[in-house]
Chains A and B, each alone.
Chain A
Amino acid sequence: MATNCEIEPGAAVESALVTTDSYENFQQMSSSLEEIKNSNYAAATPEEFLDNCNNLDNDIHLTCSPVTSSSSRDEDYLQDEEWLSKSKHVFVLSSAGKPIYSRYGNEDRFASYFGIMQALVSFVQADDDSIRSIHAGDRKFVFLFKEPLILVAVSKTEECTIQLTAQLNYVFNQIASTLTLSRLVKIYEQRRNYDLRRLLTGVDRFIDHLLDFSENEPAFTLGAVQCLPLAASVRDSISTAIVQSCSKIKNVVFGILLAKSQLITLVRMKKYYIHPHDLHLIFNLVQASESFKTIESCWAPLCLPRFDSSGFLYGHVSYLAEDCQACLLLLTVEGDAFHSLSEAKQRIVERLRRGNCLEAINASLTTREETCMEMGFPELRHYLYKCKSTAQFYQPTKGAPYSINCKRLLNLYKQAHYKLHCPTRPLKLLFERNGNDALLAWDTPGFELYAVLEPLTETSSAITTVGRLLSWIKKREDKLFQLNAPTF
């Protein structure tokens, strides 16, 4: 299949985001903090992200029905219809089997189940192997053992094991983001029996939100972020305002402006990139925190596990103004820069106000994006377009029939994404039709496209539509994507 475009839409020479495959392993983490603290100018070794994914098949398939006999006293949850009806449970426990988190219900009441999970993990581990998943009926039990924590998902959703593991990885990173991985490891080295909940008060809310967020946002499946549509000139002047206002302040690593779950601009320190997964944690932090909304400006330590899992960055977090609900984060390695960053924030707001950027942001926030129908693609229902080189994606507003039932649409995307990224037999191009919809998924070196079409669409017309769509996106790329990567 040939494209009409020379270069894929949304591609840029530079990207502020680390570009990734979304299923890559989370284990490798860079240590950028020391580097920045020690020297701003020393040449840095390029961060190499090794793909440690080994495709050994450790999945255990059970044909029997789930075993429900348990001799414990905490059987009440197994009698609880509401608890049982949840489509996905997530549990976190220490490698010693101590409860840390349960998505539904009080984790203290699962003590015996946590014991079983711990036993399963350590039993397989005794053979120098690791348990990945157990399949029983329509349920999947997915395990992720990352020293010193064990994470387990019990799911009856249609998500595949890899996608569930990716969600568990996000949960692990959320915990690492609050404590740093180094501290987490050290705590358990000192006391294997430590009750981590003591240090994680309030974090359960962030994990709850993260799980809902990762189930409902295609950004997580794609490993990309969506930008708020803005004229390129406006986006540039916003970036310039941030760069100029912070120019005299040492060691500001990232300046991030976001609204809703969309990125407005991202300014970075030279040589440093932010990983989309870290950016998702930041979006989650901002959305799940009420306190940022009530306080003029906030100062919080924050570990970005993919950036550096061993230490904290400090974040100055504030909403721009009463009349503009975009949230600005200035991340630095200096723990005492709060006041200078507060002043910088004032300067940024003044510049943006003078440049009429606040109005432009508000206008874009209140304008609904076009649906495919309004764009002039009647046979197209919805699509996701991800530009790989910048790790950004775009989606139109959901029109009928997905405006109400968007869960089904997300499931279609998740399944198609899996087929394109399946470790054993990845597909390049996929066209599927059933009674409800037709789906075309296309993976090229430059982009990924997932288009959902009317069920009666012929292959040839689907391909024409997609070609037209690509040139439509190309024409609007400077509005839909951040095409440059400004630096401090």
Chain B
Amino acid sequence: MTTDDSMDDDVFESSEDTIAQAKLHITQNAHKTVPSPTGYRDYKPPAEILKLCETDVIEDTNQRLHKTILLGDSGVGKTSLLVKFDTGKFQPGNFSATVGIGFTNKVVAVDNSRVKLQIWDTAGQERFRSVTHAYYRDAHALLLLYDVTNKTSFDNIRAWLGEIREYAQDDVVIMLIGNKCDCGGDRLVRREDGERLAKEYNVAFMETSAKNGINVDLAFMAIARELKLRQSGNKDSNKFSVQDYVREETEKSSCPPCYTT
């Protein structure tokens, strides 16, 4: 039966909301007992409608949208990072500046439960700042990118952090990302410089490559995990958990070492 399929275990395990559980039980009981709640004997609403109702219940309780915004100078690879994460594809040599701001929804699995990320891609150019600032306020997480082959984009990170402090919530999760770490000899920003800056501002840090896929999933998964922990009201978790997680995962994973010159 379709309705039973969607009653997978993690709904009950991860559900903190007892009302939701109760609701689910009612729905479950409703079409097992006769007469049905519609008042017609033996009437069962079509399976797809029942399923719709139930997914709604699940989404309302567990599927809060986590807004994550990609920020950074024009051309550092925000859109590429998102496209790589979303579709697994990378289009080389096809730079097209993003216009304005836009989002893509993506559901990821964290510890057997689903976390719904709404990932916002922004235009890096100055002329779009007035549009993008308005969206910082509801952001739960910010991925701040620079390009390791472009010193200016790294130097501008402090200005970006200043803007974030001005417009975003105080408890927003921030991750600093040095993109294009596949560059080899073209590198102009050392990994240590990125790490030092991240430490100074007490934010998580990693280097990624949208081209080779290095750390792309890890970056978004770390954010998803942190957001899920926060949502479940785990007060022990603080900013450092992302950093620790990132450190652990980068050590575990067998990603090729990023060359520093």
Contacts and interface: CB of A to CB of B under 8 A. Distances in A.
* Same complex: yes
A179 B97 CA distance: 15
B131 A299 contact: yes
B102 A298 contact: yes
Interface in A393-429: none
A291 B74 contact: no
Given A202-B97, A289-B99, A299-B131, A294 B82 contact: yes
A298 B74 contact: no
B74 A202 contact: yes
Contacts of B102: 291-292, 295-299, 317
Nearest to B79: A291
B158 to A, nearest CB: 19
A314 B130 CA distance: 12
A133 to B, nearest CB: 32
Interface stretch (B45-53, B120-128, B247-255): B120-128
Contacts of B101: 298-300
Contact of A201 (B100, B125, B131): B125
B96 A290 contact: yes
A300 B127 contact: no
Q: Which of B97, B126, B128, B134 is packed against the most chain A CB atoms within 10 Å?
A: B97
Contacts of B75: 201
Contact of B104 (A296, A301, A336): A296
A289 B127 contact: no
B70 to A, nearest CB: 11
Interface in A362-386: none
Interface in B68-87: 74-75, 79, 82-83, 86-87
Interface in B87-120: 87, 91, 94-105
A64 interface: no
A285 interface: yes
Nearest to B125: A201
Nearest to B126: A199
B131 A202 contact: no
Interface residues of A, number: 27
Q: Which of A291, A297, A317 is packed against the most chain B CB atoms within 10 Å?
A: A291
Contacts of B79: 290-291, 294
A295 B118 CA distance: 11
A299 to B, nearest CB: 5
A263 B195 CA distance: 51
Contacts of B74: 201-202
B99 A335 contact: no
B97 A335 contact: no
A178 interface: yes
A203 B103 CA distance: 22
Contacts of B94: 290
B104 A335 contact: no
Q: Which of B75, B101, B128, B134 is packed against the most chain A CB atoms within 10 Å?
A: B101
Nearest to B120: A295
Contacts of A335: 131, 134
A205 B93 CA distance: 13
B131 A294 contact: no
Interface residues of B, number: 30
A314 B128 CA distance: 12
Contacts of A178: 127
A134 interface: no
Contacts of A199: 125-127
Nearest to A178: B127
Nearest to B101: A299
Q: Which of A202, A298, A300 is packed against the most chain B CB atoms within 10 Å?
A: A202
A336 B102 CA distance: 13
Nearest to A297: B102
A298 B97 contact: no
Contacts of A315: 100
A291 B96 contact: yes
A202 B105 contact: no
A285 B131 CA distance: 18
A354 interface: no
B131 A205 contact: no
Contacts of B83: 294
B137 to A, nearest CB: 11
A202 B100 contact: no
A468 B111 CA distance: 71
A73 interface: no
A298 B131 contact: no
Contacts of A314: 131
Contact of A288 (B86, B96, B98, B100): B96
Nearest to A301: B131
A198 interface: yes
Contacts of A294: 79, 82-83, 86-87, 104, 121
B131 A300 contact: yes
Nearest to A288: B96
Contacts of B131: 299-301, 314, 335
Contacts of B126: 198-199, 201
Q: Which of B104, B124, B125 is packed against the most chain A CB atoms within 10 Å?
A: B125
A315 B128 CA distance: 13
Given A289-B99, A300-B100, A295 B121 contact: yes
A296 B127 contact: no
Interface in B126-183: 126-128, 130-131, 134
Given A291-B121, A298-B101, A205 B134 contact: no
A178 B86 CA distance: 29
A204 to B, nearest CB: 9
A289 B96 contact: yes
A184 B245 CA distance: 48
B191 to A, nearest CB: 27
Given A199-B127, A201-B74, A295 B134 contact: no
Interface in A286-344: 288-292, 294-301, 314-315, 317, 335-336
A330 to B, nearest CB: 13
Contacts of A300: 99-101, 123, 128, 131
Closest 5 CB pairs of A and B: A202-B97, A300-B100, A298-B102, A295-B102, A290-B96
27 contacts: A178-B127, A179-B127, A201-B74, A201-B75, A201-B97, A202-B96, A202-B97, A202-B125, A205-B95, A205-B96, A289-B96, A290-B94, A291-B96, A292-B99, A294-B87, A294-B121, A297-B102, A298-B100, A298-B101, A298-B102, A300-B99, A300-B128, A301-B100, A301-B128, A314-B131, A315-B100, A317-B99
